[in-house]
Amino acid sequence: MSTTLVSQSLVKAKSLSCPNCGTPIELRGFAHTLSAVCPSCLSILDASNPELQILQTYQGKERIEPKIPLGSRGTFNGTVYELIGFEQRSVQTPDDYFSWDEYLLFNPYKGFRYISEYCGHWNVIRVQSRVPYPTTARGRRGWVLDARKFAAFDAMQAATSYVIGEFPWQVRLGETAACEDFIAPPYMLSSETTAGETTWSLGEYWEGSKIWQAFRLPGKPPSPQGIFANQVSPYAGKTGAAWRMWLWFNVALFTLMTIFNLTKANKEVFHDEYSYAYFKNHDTSFVTPAFQLDGVNKNVEVRFHADIRNDWIYLSMALINDETGQTFDFAREVSYYVDSDGSEGSRDNRVVIPSVPAGRYYLRIEPEMVTGALSTRYEISVRRDVPIYSYFWIAAALLLIPPIVTWFRSNQFEARRWRESDYRPVDSPVMKIAGGIIESLGDD
């Protein structure tokens, strides 16, 4: 007799009968099997002798169907294992209850492997004969195994809450063990202590799709919920790579800036000084002598400097082509204020006119100051083909976005990981204030 929980065995099995209900039981773990569970009545039987004495009868009503059927065969690192046992373990605290599934795999030559599953997160586990040595990781207790440093993640008292299949130990429902997990993603080092005996095991995080592939299971694995302790961060190594790329882009940007700085003509083609004095109803506009602009469609920079203090001067200007009449109209204010608290504004200002065709040009200038202003001296200079450094600073600032975003996302991922641990990070005061504001808005 078989149930839907058990698929057809592919290993020659030893057949016995359940002393409770008479259901035939096939043992695939050979002499390793010390206890077996009747697939029909779920009684736990002592498999260390042929009489199959009943160790425990199942009192629960719920039957749990393993996500991977018993008897399934899966290939791990080139070795085929058969799934011979399934147990569900649970943790009950005054505030919380959660459980996870453990699958027992067996290969007659390689021994046992385990697979654990919690909310769609899978680990392939090997019991360790080696004992790790203690260290400090992330500022707290940790262990070193295979030159990897494992940081303490959580500790719990886990109870066996459901079993089916066969096991190489005397399994009992309700049996508890003190468990501790230490992580170094994608690995998890776990200790399990019962009656003074500690067993170490090393788990490796596997995507559900890989587990499904290993067992050639139909359909799709359950979607993972949340972030698991030793789940590999999708940002692992990306933050450093992003900063390295940022550095290379900055080198390229600086090189580009140097090349333009060296190749731009940046030639002064006009410079003169003027003075302004207020006369009522007096037309202040005038034109400068003509000057030559060479080069094809290069930019033109017009700079202003005014000897002012706690005052302003407003300059309406036009760069006019003497031959074609083409006009570039613009205006700038120069204002500078100073007192005992400091200064505001500047005595200098500038404007860059893009793509000005070659030719002879002059400036039409119309200065304006406050009514009754005294004579004020100001200078105007014109340069052809100037480099504009602001583009490089803007580009340098924009280049910061990807590494900062990557770093932020990576930190968010790690914060979510550790939020599930016994060492959840403490929110920063800013985050607490922000949380408080959001909460108070919610109350309203």
Partner 1 sequence: MNNPLFLLYGVLLLGATGYLEYTGKSFDRINQQRVLPKSIRDNPGAYRSTYGGYSRYIGGK
Residue with tokens 């090393």: 202
From 2, 3, 23, 335, residue interacting with partner 1 (rule: CB under 8 A) = 335
238 touches partner 1 by CB under 8 A: yes
Residue list 126-165, contact with partner 1 (CB under 8 A): none
From 10, 31, 131, 241, residue interacting with partner 1 (rule: CB under 8 A) = 241
From 317, 361, 378, 417, residue interacting with partner 1 (rule: CB under 8 A) = 317
381 touches partner 1 by CB under 8 A: no
State the Cα–Cα distance between residues 336 and 243, nearest whole angstrom. 41
From 100, 114, 274, 312, residue interacting with partner 1 (rule: CB under 8 A) = 312
64 touches partner 1 by CB under 8 A: no
Shortest distance, position 362 Cβ to partner 1, whole Å: 7
Q: Write out the DSSP string of 26-45.
A: EE-SGGG--EEE-TTT--EE
Question: Residue 7 or residue 316: which is nearer to partner 1 going by CB?
Answer: 316
- Segment interacting with partner 1, rule: CB under 8 A, options 5-13, 143-151, 215-223, 238-246: 238-246
The first and second tokens of residue 211, run together, are 């587990």
Residue list 243-262, contact with partner 1 (CB under 8 A): 245, 249, 252-253, 256, 260
* C-beta of residue 47 within 8 angstroms of C-beta of residue 33: yes
Residue of 44, 35, 179, 41 lying closest to 116 (CA atoms): 179
Shortest distance, position 321 Cβ to partner 1, whole Å: 8
Residue of 354, 342, 344, 434 lying closest to 388 (CA atoms): 354
The contact mask relative to partner 1 for 290-309 (x = CB under 8 A, - = no) is -------xxx----------
State the Cα–Cα distance between residues 324 and 339, nearest whole angstrom. 48
Strands 53-56 and 44-46, sheet pairing: antiparallel
From 30, 98, 286, 408, residue interacting with partner 1 (rule: CB under 8 A) = 286
- Distance from chain centroid for Cα 285: 61
Count residues near partner 1 (CB under 8 A): 63
- Segment interacting with partner 1, rule: CB under 8 A, options 39-47, 192-200, 366-374, 412-420: 366-374
Q: Write out the DSSP string of 355-366.
A: EEPSEEEEEEEE
Shortest distance, position 246 Cβ to partner 1, whole Å: 8
Length of the chain in terms of residues written: 444
Shortest distance, position 311 Cβ to partner 1, whole Å: 8
φ, ψ for residue 274, nearest 5 deg? -140, 165
362 touches partner 1 by CB under 8 A: yes
331 touches partner 1 by CB under 8 A: yes
State the Cα–Cα distance between residues 104 and 160, nearest whole angstrom. 14
Residue of 160, 156, 181 lying closest to 171 (CA atoms): 160
Within the chain, what is the greatest distance between any pair of CA atoms?
122
378 touches partner 1 by CB under 8 A: no
326 touches partner 1 by CB under 8 A: yes
Residue of 134, 78, 127, 120 lying closest to 104 (CA atoms): 127
Of all helices (H) and strands (E), which one includes residue 210? helix 208-215
The first and second tokens of residue 419, run together, are 């939020």
Question: Residue 158 or residue 242: which is nearer to partner 1 going by CB?
Answer: 242
State the Cα–Cα distance between residues 18 and 24, nearest whole angstrom. 6
268 touches partner 1 by CB under 8 A: no
Question: Residue 30 or residue 337: which is nearer to partner 1 going by CB?
Answer: 337
Identify the burial level of 97 via C-beta atoms within 10 angstroms of its C-beta, where 0-12 means exposed, 13-18 middle and 19 or more buried. Answer: exposed
Shortest distance, position 234 Cβ to partner 1, whole Å: 11
- Segment interacting with partner 1, rule: CB under 8 A, options 96-104, 153-161, 190-198, 236-244: 236-244
Question: 280: how many CB neighbours lie within 10 A of its CB?
Answer: 6
48 touches partner 1 by CB under 8 A: no
Residue of 108, 92, 93, 37 lying closest to 66 (CA atoms): 37
H helix intervals, 87-199? none
- Segment interacting with partner 1, rule: CB under 8 A, options 7-15, 72-80, 280-288, 372-380: 280-288
Residue with tokens 């009754």: 372
Question: Residue 341 or residue 443: which is nearer to partner 1 going by CB?
Answer: 341
357 touches partner 1 by CB under 8 A: no
404 touches partner 1 by CB under 8 A: no
Q: Which residues bind partner 1 (CB under 8 A)?
A: 237-238, 241-242, 245, 249, 252-253, 256, 260, 283, 285-287, 297-299, 310-312, 314, 316-318, 320, 322, 325-331, 333, 335, 337-339, 341, 344, 351-355, 362, 364, 366, 368, 370, 385-388, 391-392, 394-395, 398-399, 402-403, 406
